[in-house]
Structure 1
């Protein structure tokens, strides 16, 4: 699976189960970092350092 991240977008390329798994992992990481019950993809992308993009 490949993951491309730009300023306010993320592109995931892979099989459907790989993409679902990655999105669930991102959601879990986002919930752990903040005490919000729901985080958005925009929140995740905003938290990444420029080196991770």
Structure 2
């Protein structure tokens, strides 16, 4: 399974059962998707500098 992210979107590519399993794991986390994307975007941005 592959995951593509930007500051405003998340794209999961893989088999349906893989995507469902990943979404179930993420649903257990106490963070919203928007917060996760913002944190990930900032971390990638800082790493590039």
* Superposition TM-score, scaled by structure 1 size: 0.62
Structure 1 runs (4+) deviating above 3 angstroms are none
Larger radius of gyration: 2
Q: Which runs of 5+ in 1 are unaligned?
A: 32-38
Aligned residues: CA RMSD: 1.7
* Superposition TM-score, scaled by structure 2 size: 0.65
Higher helix share: 2
Q: Which runs of 5+ in 2 are unaligned?
A: 45-49
